[in-house]
Structure 1
């Protein structure tokens, strides 16, 4: 292969890789990946209009866990197993279907839009404490005995879903 052919091939492959990377960046930056449902082939084979359907799948992103927190009077940190925050979203849905002759002579439509909404979660965590107290000056610096402590930090789920329903002329 000639050096000019190799250079041309390398330039074309670099351009294709840059185009693919640029096309993938907006979906990753938005936090959702669009998922179209192709129904054109079914429309042509049946000879009728079918609904337009598409969705959005969220991309979950793990966050930084809050580390152990030391509290006065305890031998072990407060959060032995920290809670892991994960932010993502609920899946979105877009549906637009023809409804013949409801509002006039042309095809009318009914549309439902439920965009992907933000979702914030915290995984469950664990907190423990040893069966000993900190050193007691009245007992010559020896720790006292106490009951061991164990607790589960409850998971958290926060979201605000929304949806729109509409009707109108044309498809």
Structure 2
């Protein structure tokens, strides 16, 4: 195989791989289904149906450091990083036999799509020196160092639905 043919083939494969991978990267969650169809046919009975999604993390852009007059270091030396994701979704349906009769009801449990917002911890510190002072001929004075931790933040509103009804 000629080198030009190999180069063309490599370029085509690269373009196809990029086209296939782009939708997966753009998705917010990956669907997951538990395959129980084979067990249903092998055991000749109705099996539960279980599925859901696994969310992907979406990091945001952090707030940059803020410079304040009178401080040698910026206010947020280690900025907080915002992260947005969702809680895993669940959709489970299982047969529930009736005590009186031959028919089945079904029990279903679902969790809706819930957004989770979080901020990672951050830090703010200041050097043990003041800004240059004119009365000290432009030299800084000594002071106690300052260290502050920015607490992480987590915000979500999870929920779930449990239902018993006829049919699947």
Normalised TM-score (structure 2): 0.81
Q: How far does residue 51 in structure 1 lie from its aligned partner after superposition?
A: 0.8
Secondary structure of 2:131 counterpart: strand
How far apart, in 2, do the equivalents of 1:38 and 1:112 lie? 18
Pair 1:74 & 2:74 matched: no
What do you get for the CA RMSD once the two structures are aligned? 2.5
How far apart, in 1, do the equivalents of 2:99 and 2:160 lie? 23
Alignment correspondent of 1:39: 36
Q: How far does residue 49 in structure 1 lie from its aligned partner after superposition?
A: 1.0
Of 143, 146, 149, 1:149 maps to 146
Q: CA separation of 1:59/1:126 partners in 2, compared to 1, >3 Å: closer, same or farther? A: same
Normalised TM-score (structure 1): 0.80
Q: Superposed, which structure 2 residues align to 1:44-63 within 5 Å?
A: 44-63=41-60
Alignment correspondent of 2:156: 159
Q: How far does residue 140 in structure 1 lie from its aligned partner after superposition?
A: 2.6
Alignment correspondent of 2:3: none
Is this contact kept in 2: 1:92–1:115, CA < 8 A?
yes
Alignment correspondent of 1:107: 104
Structure 1 stretches of 4+ with a deviation exceeding 6 A read: none
Structure 1: gaps spanning 5 or more residues: 1-9
Aligned residues: 155
How far apart, in 2, do the equivalents of 1:104 and 1:89 lie? 41
How far apart, in 1, do the equivalents of 2:25 and 2:104 lie? 36
Q: How far does residue 99 in structure 1 lie from its aligned partner after superposition?
A: 0.6
Alignment correspondent of 2:133: 136
Structure 2: gaps spanning 5 or more residues: 1-8
Q: How far does residue 157 in structure 1 lie from its aligned partner after superposition?
A: 1.1
Alignment correspondent of 2:4: none
Structure (1/2) with the larger strand percentage: 1
